[in-house]
Structure 1
């Protein structure tokens, strides 16, 4: 019986002892400042969705401009993340974090002061640069401050902050749009960002990379950063406007798409063969589980942000809700994301297990997205509340599980770059998800409207933008047959988006079984942890120096007694 169990579970390896982690008051103050910064980013990311129709009308913007107010933010926040992490490795985490927080604040001021859409779009782009940096560096800083075994708890806490922002964001956005002015959507960021800036400056007292300023400037990967940013932008822009502003067969779409693909291939070749200071360490992808986890993170971003962006529009366009009630409809989903993300982090800290959450998360997300297809113009409240609860459970489980799966699969000395790529792939999924969701919606509603003789001539005009169509529907009397047809078409069009998300989640569910489990008992390794209070006294956040006799023996890589050249995480028994 014992032999049979050993064969089934595989060889068990002796796991290293978890280092003692006893954070002090400065740690808690610095983490609180990080949490407040993420709160303002979460509010900004979710307040705008319910207010886009009002903003478009107030600034006399076109449907295309309204569409770009969201897309420009996502695009900028995506392309900046790898460069931000690289800059923080060279110049220091605190300095770059303060820089991106300043960018975010400047962008908010530009948006709040906008009288025309060009300034609004510029402000959203600047805000996106700041928000992308905040997202990337928050996770990186947690890896600098907390050993892997305890990170689940702090990842969960940041997740709770985002959930609070996601719940209150649409509500506040709807209130500002209906009862006050939409400009408060951006003004509200200023006092929160000010508190964050002071907290980061005073309490996040980290070790800085050594070297003079001129030496650090020479370490920058200028060509790689430019090539990556330009190529990814060239790729994402036509993905966004394909089928909307221009046909997919148009040269306006195909040419920049082709240039972007060629540029990204050239970037990979340059980074792997010629770059001395690499923007992205591609050796991380040599591990199959790491590469697969990045794919899952990308798919999670697609699903998450399609739901966040299109759910309020469904309730406004198909059920006739105003912005405030539409914002409140996100409560059931957001309130399940919070406890589920926190539960995974706490259970992983206690047990060291996390893959169960990957499997359960994707299975429940697939079920939840499938049930979203039941939404129609007359879906009762109790039904959509229950369905939103289900999808929220699945999405919440995946937040912490994917992060832990990635961090456990890479060497801890490279975890900062790995986590920076985590936020990039999730943001990349967001950009692709909103853009592809928009294409699916617009093409589907065009087909729906062409079925009705009275609306056939306006099908192209009405299908240009989901948010602009909401205002058209609301201007019509409730008992008017044209409004009823538009609402029905709107519900059917968004159903096509839910079908796409359901299929995507099902694919991710099967892929999740190929991810290996690794131990979470890995020592903290960072060059930018908290400064030691005294030269002779080790920091409570960093492991003390280890003598040669105390260093653990590397585990064999292939069972033949040959040690690995680079220490790898110890794989745990199958879960």
Structure 2
């Protein structure tokens, strides 16, 4: 609720130049970068706050779990269901639905309320899990994974929005750090759990295990009351505010992009029309979506991605760095296992354990950065530190080979992971500092959408680099072996099992080892350049102070005596209805 009401500040017009714009003023809502002199200390959090925090943390854990749980179990699942070439879509349908539906949840949260959308997300995730767990065919599994992806979009977007509703801008980095730790934990345990269940012949429990977690996340959300300033509107009036045309354009564009990138360099060469046509159509679709959102035919409150979010350089820089940060996260997440399996000879389950240092470093680093951001009110310095450390970490990864010691591959991962973590928790507060509090939901959803786009390219670009380099170096191999490494075969065969088939032929084994090592080295070298781009993009951003003032029409209704005492509305302002 609104704690203080200050005098409105003069507004400035938006521009894309070097001047930062003043966030729009909304009814009952103050801008984030008001004079720090009126900031108030953070109020104590009551029981209802912590119960809700546990609920949304479990939502994040669910989405993280299913984003990577199949990485070690996919061969087993695909074999049992006779998936054939459809096996790729068992993972990609989840990613596709999660990417396309994220912005929709952001807009819908402002229209229908946070509680309804969060429960819808949890329900969709649970339904998709049941369909996936009982799948008798690949097609049924794909339906379940798609529904899971829709729920996963909400389970990622809604916690970020709710954190913004519950705490001030200055505090958000610390609580985003908690969510990041939950995401990291989910990502950490998922491949191990998936691999263990697959080896035990119980892969269906990968999906059944989601149900009790979803139930635990839903119960507090059902019991607690959240304010909804749009509660008085009819359902049909709220339904009419949804940007249906824009969302359809966006979904079609994302589908086209993913269709191209899923098979590019693998089933279809990059030069094939089957790769180029959907890639071009997807990019044109994103341009068409941007043009549609900027058009005069849409009311200001009915845009999935309002152009005003991109009219100051801090927001633009923040969104751009988010894209590259997601690229680097998936870049390392997909290619460190290639190193462990093809070069170090680890089996899939062991390789999942060997990547733990990356996550074990990133989650605490993110929390520490969030804590100090909440104390100082400044977060831009962490962006520079994070990108600089990541560049150093990427440089260290280029040194890895078959002879690298455990200390080397553990330490190098932890350096890179530290950079990942401190950026993760301070990106969104940096973006929101330049925008109005009324845009929190939409801005958060756009942030996640851009990150999801970055994650798609974060697997596509290194895979293309890796496969191309391996194919170039394969000329030294016998023809029958060389044929296994062309058209994406290098990545497909980057396993300990494949390498072990040549142990009795030392010359071929050593040649393959050198090819994989050299190809990975180029992958890490190019990642250094992308880290440099991320560092330079931070220059666009202003070092805005994060205010402790919290002015919102959303948030918890009722709660503990401490919460009620700290949430008095200004005199004359009506309280929002609860959802």
The TM-score range, normalised by the shorter chain, is: 0.7 to 0.9
The answer for the alignment partner of 1:135 in structure 2 is 156
CA offset at residue 179 of structure 1? Answer: 3.8
How do 1:276-425 and structure 2 match up within 5 A?
276=299, 277-425=302-450
CA offset at residue 143 of structure 1? Answer: 0.7
The answer for the alignment partner of 2:459 in structure 1 is 434
Unaligned runs of 5+ residues in structure 1 are 1-11, 549-575
1:493 aligns with 2:519: yes
Contact 2:45 2:563 in 1 (8 A): no
Higher RCO (C-alpha under 8 Å, 6+ residues apart): 2
Contact 2:45 2:562 in 1 (8 A): no
Please give the per-residue CA displacement for 1:374-416, whole angstroms capped at 9, x wherever unaligned. 2223322111011111101111110112122112121222122
Contact 2:227 2:554 in 1 (8 A): yes
1:275 aligns with 2:275: no
Contact 1:178 1:324 in 2 (8 A): no
Q: 1:324 to 1:247 in 2, by over 3 A?
A: closer
Contact 1:18 1:149 in 2 (8 A): no
1:88 aligns with 2:82: no
Find the aligned partners of 2:405 and 2:201 in 1 and give their Cα distance: 30
Contact 1:136 1:424 in 2 (8 A): no
Find the aligned partners of 1:537 and 1:42 in 2 and give their Cα distance: 33
Which of 98, 106, 121 in structure 2 is aligned with 1:77?
A: 98
CA offset at residue 35 of structure 1? Answer: 1.0
Q: 1:488 to 1:473 in 2, by over 3 A?
A: farther
Bigger CA drift: 64-73 or 454-463?
454-463
Find the aligned partners of 2:35 and 2:562 in 1 and give their Cα distance: 33
The answer for the alignment partner of 1:66 in structure 2 is 87
What's the TM-score, normalizing by structure 2? 0.86
Q: 1:477 to 1:116 in 2, by over 3 A?
A: farther
Find the aligned partners of 2:78 and 2:474 in 1 and give their Cα distance: 23
Which of 521, 534, 540 in structure 1 is aligned with 2:547?
A: 521
Bigger CA drift: 16-25 or 129-138?
16-25
Secondary structure at the counterpart of residue 116 of structure 2: helix
The answer for the alignment partner of 1:109 in structure 2 is 130
The answer for the alignment partner of 1:9 in structure 2 is none
Find the aligned partners of 2:218 and 2:511 in 1 and give their Cα distance: 50
The answer for the alignment partner of 1:247 in structure 2 is 269
Secondary structure at the counterpart of residue 80 of structure 1: helix
How do 1:2-151 and structure 2 match up within 5 A?
15-18=37-40, 20-62=42-84, 64-151=85-172
Find the aligned partners of 1:104 and 1:487 in 2 and give their Cα distance: 41
Find the aligned partners of 1:73 and 1:541 in 2 and give their Cα distance: 41
Find the aligned partners of 1:190 and 1:377 in 2 and give their Cα distance: 41
What's the TM-score, normalizing by structure 1? 0.86
1:466 aligns with 2:491: yes
Find the aligned partners of 2:480 and 2:385 in 1 and give their Cα distance: 44
Q: 1:541 to 1:447 in 2, by over 3 A?
A: farther
Find the aligned partners of 1:314 and 1:183 in 2 and give their Cα distance: 29
How do 1:184-223 and structure 2 match up within 5 A?
184-203=205-224, 205-207=226-228, 209-210=230-231, 211-223=233-245
Find the aligned partners of 1:237 and 1:327 in 2 and give their Cα distance: 27
CA offset at residue 449 of structure 1? Answer: 2.7
Secondary structure at the counterpart of residue 172 of structure 2: helix
CA offset at residue 287 of structure 1? Answer: 0.6
Secondary structure at the counterpart of residue 476 of structure 2: coil
Find the aligned partners of 1:136 and 1:297 in 2 and give their Cα distance: 15
How many residues align? The count is 535
Please give the per-residue CA displacement for 1:183-220, whole angstroms capped at 9, x wherever unaligned. 33222212111211222212353435230111111111
Find the aligned partners of 2:380 and 2:154 in 1 and give their Cα distance: 28
Superposed CA RMSD in Å reads: 2.6
Secondary structure at the counterpart of residue 37 of structure 2: coil
How do 1:445-464 and structure 2 match up within 5 A?
445-455=470-480, 457-459=482-484, 463-464=488-489
Contact 1:362 1:394 in 2 (8 A): yes
Find the aligned partners of 2:139 and 2:474 in 1 and give their Cα distance: 31
Find the aligned partners of 2:437 and 2:392 in 1 and give their Cα distance: 35
Bigger CA drift: 481-490 or 29-38?
481-490
Please give the per-residue CA displacement for 1:320-369, whole angstroms capped at 9, x wherever unaligned. 21222211112211111122101111111111121221111000001111
CA offset at residue 541 of structure 1? Answer: 6.4
Find the aligned partners of 1:110 and 1:497 in 2 and give their Cα distance: 38
1:510 aligns with 2:533: no
Please give the per-residue CA displacement for 1:474-513, whole angstroms capped at 9, x wherever unaligned. 6626444344544443333333322222210011112213
